């Protein structure tokens, strides 16, 4: 199994979903960042990930990374939530954002903002001002969730 699949298994074992794994360079420091979200929905919203959840998951994943380091050299492990406003770059991430507001830039330069209704195959379905709009994933150049105050 790959390192990402092993990490995903640990994440699922504590009732969370793996959102993203990235390596970020901050000056001379390398950060191995694991972003997780809750898989529980409450009042039509995804529950928050607690600090205790992140600490628990860090303790589970850290020994795995001691055996199979994700990067060469020194790095810092960060486990946390990707936040309320975050990039959406994969079909899987779109699926995890159903019910949330998303802003999408298309390769045609058109911009869409609306509520993500569902994902079927490579099709993304949005409610844009009361109208259902379908976009193929391959047409998207950039997407992110957003929060309206």
Complete domains list, the chain, with CATH: 3-80 (3.30.300.70), 91-145 (2.30.30.100)
In the 8-state DSSP scheme, what is residue 1? -
Q: What are phi and psi of 82, to 5 degrees?
A: -75, -10
Whose CA is closest to 146, among 68, 84, 54?
A: 84
Q: What are phi and psi of 122, to 5 degrees?
A: -100, 10
How many whole angstroms separate alpha carbon 32 and alpha carbon 93? Answer: 19
Of all residues in the chain, what percent carry a pLDDT higher than 90? 79
pLDDT tens digits, one per residue of 5-42: 999 999 999 999 999 999 998 888 899 999 999 988 77
The SS3 assignment for 81 reads coil
Q: Please count the other Cβ atoms lying within 10 Å of the Cβ belonging to residue 146.
A: 12
Give the model's pLDDT for residue 148. Answer: 84
Strand bridging mode 76-80 / 29-38: parallel
Give the model's pLDDT for residue 63. Answer: 94
pTM more than 0.95: no
With a cut of 50, list the residues of the chain below it in pLDDT: none
Give the model's pLDDT for residue 130. Answer: 94
């Amino acid at each position: 199994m790959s390192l990402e699949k092993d990490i995903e298994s640990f994440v699922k074992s504590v009732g969370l979903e793996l959102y993203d794994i990235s390596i970020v360079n901050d000056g001379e420091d390398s950060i191995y960042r694991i972003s997780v979200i809750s898989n529980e929905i409450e009042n039509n919203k995804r529950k928050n990930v607690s600090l205790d959840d992140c600490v628990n998951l860090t303790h589970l994943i850290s020994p795995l990374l001691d055996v199979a380091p994700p990067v060469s050299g020194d790095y810092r492990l960060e486990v946390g939530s990707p936040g309320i406003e975050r990039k959406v770059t994969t079909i899987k991430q779109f699926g995890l954002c159903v019910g949330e507001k998303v802003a999408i830039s298309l390769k045609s330069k058109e911009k869409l903002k609306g509520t993500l209704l569902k994902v079927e195959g490579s099709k993304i379905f949005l409610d844009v001002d009361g109208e259902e709009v379908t976009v193929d994933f391959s047409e998207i150049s950039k997407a992110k969730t957003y929060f309206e105050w």
